[in-house]
Each structure stands twice: as C-alpha cells, then as structure tokens.
C-alpha cells in the first residue's frame, strides 16, 4: 500500500482526530495517544484460528473497516503507514521482550521516527505497561508519562533497553537496536508469535486499551481498570456477558458466538 492509497481520512476518523496533521513532534504524540485510546491491543483472531495477515490492505480492513484491534505487528504497522502518509520518516524496529524473565526472541515491533534530525521511539503495540507517548532516542533521561516514568539505557550486547518504573523499581520492558528490519524479518516474527504453541498469544486471551486517565487490561477473564491512580478488578462471566464486556471496555466485536473461543487458559 503506497502513501497515496493509504486511507488517511479513515484512519483519522477511526482514532477520533479531527484536526490537521503535519510531520511534527506534536502530531506524532497526538497520533500515538489517539490510537492507543481508540484501537485496542488484542489477540482474539489468533485464538479463533483466523491467523494474522500483515498485508497492508488487510490490516486496514480489520483495524479501520471492521473496527477491530490487533497486536504489535498490526498496530504499529498501521501507525507506521499513517505516519508515512502524513509525511514522517518512519521505519520498523524489532525488540526482545523482557517482562517475563528471560528475553524473548525479537518478537515485538516498534517504530523509529525521524523529525528534523532527531530520532523518536513510537509504540502503540505493547499492551498494558507500554509507552503512552513517543520518547526521544536519548539515553539516561527519565520521561514521565501520566504517572509512569520511562527511560532508555545502553544495554551492551542487548542494544538499547526500555525501562519503566513501578513501585520505585525500574523494570525492563524490551531491548532493541537500530538495525534495518526487512518485511521478511517482520513476517517471521509474526508467524512465530502467532503460531508457536509456546507463545502466550496462542492460548491466553489478552486485550488492553489506554484511557485518558489510565488503562483497561484483560488477561483471560480477569479485567483490570486503572483510572486516576485507583484500581478496580473484576472477573468476567463466560458466555455472552464476556462478549458484551469486550465490546463495552475495548470496543471489540468478535462477530462470533462465545463457543467459538477456545477454553480459558488455566491460571
């Protein structure tokens, strides 16, 4: 899909952005925040056996036309196409995720954006604890965002590490480098993440959406809502109430019966 064929107006309508757009730091931050609050992170097509296509037209059809969400390769793929259509210089990077102890293979996509000679990291596809706004590619600078502090560190053989601070402790989120990433690299990472039985996306129900005052996250049937520093949790009831909750909290309409979903993963 070329710059001229990307449906930029449909994208801006989907993320509820009514203003003009031009390649600036302000626009980059506005688009990232708007997409995070309107297009959810979710993996339900993997669980339904539908697979994940990274064809640009199919990403647009799913996330814009069908008003569904997706995971990092779809969400950041969409953002990258939109940024390019606006006039930004943007390219993909691949990262190893560190939130579960041992780092994964390079199975997370993010976006490197260049504006007037300055590089920025943009990411709308990391789920709950991810960046809420872009950050400059600069080391050892603390970047507060809506109550959470982030920083980039030089991490030796791992390249660059993104960390977030929780309960006064800095925790590793993911590591990456600035090497060129090909379409084949992304396709391979997508296939591994969406098809490998060891990938939690193949057996856990996951959804997340940022809100102006916090975030809403789902793991299987455990719903967590953080708003203004307060937290609420709930256990979703299986069946139609579960589907109703997906629509209410995340805007996800699966267009299928609850029985089509695989059983909830234990734990």
Contact (Cβ atoms closer than 8 angstroms) between residue 129 and residue 210: no
Contact (Cβ atoms closer than 8 angstroms) between residue 68 and residue 89: no
What's the pTM? 0.96
Q: Which residue of the set 72, 98, 172, 249 is catalytic?
A: 72
Domain 8-198 matching CATH 3.20.20.80: the answer reads no
For residue range 214-252, what is the model confidence (pLDDT) as tens digits? 999 999 999 999 988 889 999 999 999 999 999 999 999
Q: Give the span between the Cα atoms of 243 and 205, in whole angstroms.
A: 12
Determine whether 60 is an active site residue: no
Determine whether 172 is an active site residue: no
Determine whether 196 is an active site residue: no
For residue range 34-43, what is the model confidence (pLDDT) as tens digits? 999 999 999 9
Q: Which residue of the set 60, 123, 172, 249 is catalytic?
A: 123
Helices 25-38 and 72-86, interaxial angle, to 10°? Answer: 140
Averaged pLDDT score across all residues of the chain: 95
Q: Which residue of the set 45, 60, 98, 108 is catalytic?
A: 108
Which residues contact residue 66 at a Cβ distance below 8 angstroms, ignoring those fewer than 6 apart?
255
The residues spanned by each domain of the chain are 8-198
């Amino acid at each position: 899909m070329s710059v001229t064929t990307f449906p930029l107006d449909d994208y801006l309508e989907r993320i509820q952005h009514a203003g003009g757009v031009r390649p600036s730091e302000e626009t980059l931050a506005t688009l990232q925040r708007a997409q995070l609050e309107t297009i959810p992170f979710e993996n339900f097509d993997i669980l339904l056996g539908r697979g994940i296509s990274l064809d640009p037209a199919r990403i647009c059809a799913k996330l814009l036309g069908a008003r569904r969400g997706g995971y990092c390769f779809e969400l950041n793929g969409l953002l990258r196409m939109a940024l390019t259509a606006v006039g930004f210089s943007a390219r993909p990077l691949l990262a190893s995720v560190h939130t579960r102890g041992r780092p994964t293979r390079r199975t997370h996509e993010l976006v490197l954006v260049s504006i007037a000679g300055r590089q920025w990291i943009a990411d709308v596809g990391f789920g709950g604890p991810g960046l809420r706004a872009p950050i400059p590619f600069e080391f050892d600078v603390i970047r507060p965002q809506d109550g959470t502090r982030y920083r980039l560190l030089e991490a030796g053989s791992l390249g660059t590490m993104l960390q977030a601070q929780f309960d006064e402790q800095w925790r590793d989120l993911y590591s990456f480098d600035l090497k060129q990433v090909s379409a084949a690299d992304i396709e391979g990472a997508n296939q591994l993440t969406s098809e490998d039985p060891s990938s939690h996306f193949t057996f856990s129900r996951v959804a997340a959406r940022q809100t102006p005052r916090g975030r809403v996250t789902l793991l299987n049937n455990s719903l967590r809502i953080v708003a203004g520093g307060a937290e609420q949790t709930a256990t979703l009831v299986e069946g139609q109430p579960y589907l109703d909750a997906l629509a209410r909290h995340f805007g996800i309409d699966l267009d299928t019966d609850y029985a089509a979903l695989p059983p909830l993963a234990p734990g």
